[in-house]
Amino acid sequence: MTETRDERVITEALTVIDKALAEMLHRELVSTGEVADLLLDVRSLLTTPAPAPAVPAAS
């Protein structure tokens, strides 16, 4: 089964979140800047438009 763009974006967003959470769990304090960066990364992943489908060249 082929993965849709939405599933790929969600998978990538979850990967970003999981990685950041793993790093943050080892610290007592997390700056608001770091949290904002994480949220902006996830937002960017979720709002990036899908690339236009490739149009085959005319022979």
Domain span at residue 42 reads 5-47
- What is the model's pLDDT at position 9? 85
Buried/exposed code over 23-42 (b: 16+ C-beta within 10 A; e: otherwise): eeeeeeeeeeeeeeebeeeb
pTM, full prediction: 0.59
| 8 A C-beta contact, residue 42 and residue 16 | yes
The distance from CA 18 to its chain's CA centroid, rounded to whole angstroms, is 11
In a domain, 55, yes or no: no
In a domain, 19, yes or no: yes
| Greater pLDDT, 41 or 59 | 41
In a domain, 21, yes or no: yes
Number of independent structural domains in the chain: 1
In a domain, 52, yes or no: no
In a domain, 34, yes or no: yes
- Structure token pair of residue 44: 């960017």
| 8 A C-beta contact, residue 16 and residue 41 | yes
Secondary-structure percent of the chain, ordered helix, strand, coil, rounded to 5? 60, 0, 40
Residue pLDDT, tens place only, 7-35: 888 898 889 888 888 888 888 888 889 88
